[in-house]
Structure 1
Amino acid sequence: MSTADAVLPEAKRQKMIKTIGTHNGTFHCDEALAVFLLRQTNIYRDAALKRTRNPAVLATCDIVVDVGAVYDESKLLFDHHQRGFTEVFGHGFETKLSSAGLVYKHFGKEVIATRTQLPLDDPKVNTLWLKMYKEFIEAVDGIDNGVSQYPNDVKPKYRSRTDLSSRVGSLNPWWNQPTDAQSVDHSFLKARFEKASQLTGTEFLGKLDYYANAWLPARDLLVSSVANSRAQFDPTGKIILFEQFLPWKEHLFELEADDRVPDVEPNQAIYVVYPDETANNWRVQAVPVSSESFESRKALPEAWRGLRDDELSKASGIEGGIFIHASGFIGGRFFLFDGTSFCAQRRATGNKTKEGALKIAQASLAV
């Protein structure tokens, strides 16, 4: 509480506190997260919570989520259960929104700007807003609305109950524990709901922190690496040199599709060169045809595959060779050229020097 608030009469201070309304009884991930997100905004930061289905009580709340059968942003009503509700996030996303998605759609940018300390109109806020919907919020929307993750209803080979929605659901009272109807002050279920809301929020903020402080900086490094590579050794943009390892694939494909980004053009990059985790050796990796594909835009020469050390150096005519995997599409911690993630030996790589790795990439373009 601020010093100014402390001197206000108690009745006036109470009147200034906002109230969020949602339904009572069994709670779910979507309204638990919606309440948490609202409490990250300036206007609802210290908001009280009323859990009820009584329309008269809900009418006294400043904002209502997941109950009331009305979606009306102007009236601060955010329910999604009513007949005819078809609201989606947009921007290419087609999953019907739950209360979490509705609140995130309207308040998410403010939450992100506040957490990252960026201006609301900073392009990075919009990038993170879309990324967090894709990687976090959409699953909550889909599960709450009963949208199958597998459109063709393929039967899964195993069952997973460790997703966020399942963990929130497990915080509800068991059948033989007290509920609102059995508790005079509703304290038992209220405490469980607050715990669930905090759980969803902790995971949301943890994910947001990663994307803001690790994922997004990698995008900036990719853009600068493309520009530097063009200026220093490959004006065609077919080879990208990274001075440090970074997760580049997803960013590359997204930036290729964004015509506002200079120097990054569709299907242009063929190879990336970067140091391994020890920075003692260097690797060359062929860009895949898509971020999840095993097929490369242009694999390294078949005649070099499976060769090691001196044999590889002799075949390629480039000193310092270490290894090129024989499979042609997956190499793990070998010398990668297929666009897949690391999965095997740490010790194997492409060349002992940055110059050697660049020469391998340049020679491969000419084959």
Structure 2
Amino acid sequence: GDFHTDECMAIFLVRQLFDIASIQRTRDQNAIDQADIVLDVGAVYDKKKLRFDHHQNGFQEYFENSKVLLCACGLIYRDFGKQILQNLLSKQQIVVSDDKIQFAYQHMYQKLIQQIDGGDNGVEQYSEHQKSNYSTSSTTLHSRIQRLNKIGTFEQACQVCEQEFMEQFQYFTLTALTKFEYVDQLFKTRFQTHKSGRCLEGDEVSGLLIDYFQLVYQCDILYVFFQRKDLQWGIKALNTDGFKLKRALAEEWRGLRDQELSEKSGIKNGVFVHKSGFLGVWQTREAIIEVIDKMIPE
């Protein structure tokens, strides 16, 4: 029969925990009963017995703080995800603290596994009155696995899931885990950076880490500023969950450059402000602090 993203990703996850001698795709109950690990069939969820199905009546299992029902790969990830991530990091000889593992565990669920849970359980991504402005359905992991039912094999589909997971995890490790302490320190010193405590000074600040530490420190960061390679200073307005900016740079500054920007803003050494208001550049750090003072008045 057809295979789906759920069981293909589940196979990858289980392979990070156990040496699997063989995989049998079957609905024969005798074979299911004799198997060491059962995924997505059998109408039983039992962590201790390594039974991971979600089709049975009364199934109500969720990841922490999620409203999306788990499927087989979600169950495995919830129950063994931290161990899986630790194993992957150990292979790269990366030693991390428990809070980093928790951060990685939450991130990989929210950015990958939850989408598989939602798709497999038929959970709509948007409420009924919302309509997407364009389709991404042909480029999703689900669609790629679905195509392989016609032009590939189950093992190829498992390899696609492995590649997707590992690419996301390696990118996350590079951009977030390695910067964890650095960004933590930026948050700890944010009131020294600016009296509002709502901006950070630092380059290569990952949005993932900003989101995480905003929850840790119960704060709302509006701007990040930094010295550029050309030695000028930039300031970026941060986004909400989508493309909308929390607080764009002043509308009357947008699209202006050089002397015109300096005169309109009342801040010397202006270079430019992007027409969307997400980015501004001035020649000095002192000018950037003036920008923040104007954008975050007392």
Give the letter for the 1:280 counterpart: L
Q: What is residue 215 of structure 2 aligned with on the other side?
A: 257
- Which residue is 1:168 aligned to? 145
Q: Secondary structure at the match of 1:93?
A: coil
- Does residue 136 (structure 1) correspond to residue 112 (structure 2)? The answer is yes
Match of 1:49 in 2: 23
**Shift of residue 171 of structure 1?**
1.8
Q: Give a deviation string over 1:298-354, Cα, whole Å, max 9, x none.
A: x545665554212333455543211235x6xx235xxx2xxxxxxxxxxxx421233
Q: 1:110 is matched with which residue?
A: 83
Deviation at residue 273 of structure 1 after TM alignment: 1.2
Change in CA separation of 1:77 and 1:238 when aligned onto 2, cut-off 3 Å? closer
Answer whether contact 2:257 2:273 (CA < 8 A) is retained: yes
Amino acid at match of 2:87: T
Work out whether 1:353 is the aligned partner of 2:284: yes
1:294 matched residue in structure 2: 244
- State the match for 1:283 in structure 2: 234
C-alpha contact 2:13 2:77 (8 A) present in aligned 1: yes
For 1:153 and 1:296, locate their aligned partners in 2 and report how far apart those are by CA, in whole Å: 24
Return the index of the structure with the highest Cα Rg.
1
Amino acid at match of 2:205: L
Go from structure 1 to structure 2 and tell me whether the alpha carbon gap of 1:110 and 1:281 turns closer, same or farther (over 3 Å shift). same
> Structure 1 residues 109-118 or 158-167, which shifts more?
158-167
Q: Give the equivalent residue in structure 1 for 2:187.
A: 226
> Deviation at 1:121?
6.7
Look up the match of 2:14: 38
Structure 2: state its 5+ residue gaps. none
- Percent of counterpart pairs with the same letter? 34
Q: Give the direction of change, closer, same or farther, for the CA distance of 1:71–1:230 in structure 2 (3 Å limit).
A: same
Q: Quote the Cα distance in structure 1 between the aligned partners of 2:230 and 2:108.
A: 32
Give 1:198-213 correspondences, 5 Å limit.
198-213=159-174
Inter-CA distance 154–310: structure 2 relative to 1 (3 Å threshold) = closer
How many Å apart are 1:78 and its aligned residue? 0.8
What runs of 5+ residues in structure 1 fail to find an aligned partner? 1-24, 175-190, 259-263, 337-348
Q: How far apart are 1:93 and its partner, in Å?
A: 0.7
2:67 corresponding residue in structure 1? 94
Alpha-carbon contact 1:245-1:275 (below 8 Å) kept: no
* Separation in structure 2 between the aligned mates of residue 198 and residue 358 of structure 1, nearest angstrom: 50
Aligned to 2:262: 313
Q: Which runs of 4+ in 1 moved over 6 A?
A: none
Determine the structure 1 residue equivalent to 2:224: 272
Please, which moves more after superposition, 70-79 or 152-161?
152-161
Structure showing greater relative contact order (alpha-carbon pairs closer than 8 Å, 6 or more residues apart): 2
Structure 1: how far apart are the matches of 2:254 and 2:131?
Answer: 39
1:246 aligns with 2:240: no
| Root mean square deviation, CA, Å | 2.9
CA contact (8 A) 2:249 2:277 kept: no
Residue 120 of structure 1 deviates from its aligned partner by 8.4
Rounded to whole Å, the distance in 2 between the matches of 1:70 and 1:148 is 25
